[in-house]
Chain A
Amino acid sequence: SQQGEEDPQALSIQEGENATMNCSYKTSINNLQWYRQNSGRGLVHLILIRSNEREKHSGRLRVTLDTSKKSSSLLITASRAADTASYFCATAKVGGSEKLVFGKGMKLTVNP
């Protein structure tokens, strides 16, 4: 399987609920980033967490990183219909070039 796999592949929730997305990866990383893509638009950077960090917050977003398990989670609290989008995790590998390695993405639908 590939670097950066999101789980679940699709999630449908009601407004106000929390949404949790998980990402697993295989190699040692320098950092892990989460991006959002609204339909037909480009990728928007949400948050970057470095390999020596365990948790990071940004507004309603909370990201955790467990390098021993090679996994990360993105929690969106108090979701809104506007959070409906595809979410991707991407990793920057240790000793690799500066390219990001993306997962396939996860489709989040927040129903009003």
Chain B
Amino acid sequence: EAGVTQFPSHSVIEKGQTVTLRCDPISGHDNLYWYRRVMGKEIKFLLHFVKESKQDESGMPNNRFLAERTGGTYSTLKVQPAELEDSGVYFCASSQAPQGVEYFGPGTRLTVT
């Protein structure tokens, strides 16, 4: 069974540009999470989908970040316009049950120059 996949693995963009990250969860997992790790800091929660609905988006930093999960399968996280402080590693995770084991993808390393 395939694990959580993320695309791209790396992205380097200039300040002001737009980037879209994609996450494909494990098939059948209704719960999908986005996390972010900024250099030297802890991994922080961004938001949680249950199927196509946003269950909790309390961690989204500001309105430059837009997450979608149309159809309840894969999810995208768009940053527009990107700022320098958005640089970091963006992780996606999925789980079958809430507050259960979350299976993480390899992450997307975003560098904003």
- A residues near B (Cβ < 8 Å) are 2, 4, 30-31, 33, 35, 41-45, 48, 88, 90, 92, 97-105
Contacts and interface: CB of A to CB of B under 8 A. Distances in A.
A1 B46 CA distance: 20
19 contacts: A30-B99, A31-B99, A42-B91, A42-B104, A42-B105, A42-B107, A43-B91, A43-B93, A45-B101, A92-B99, A97-B56, A97-B58, A98-B31, A98-B55, A98-B95, A100-B35, A101-B45, A103-B42, A105-B42
B84 interface: no
B37 to A, nearest CB: 8
B59 interface: yes
A41 B6 CA distance: 12
B104 A43 contact: yes
Contact of A99 (B4, B33, B41): B33
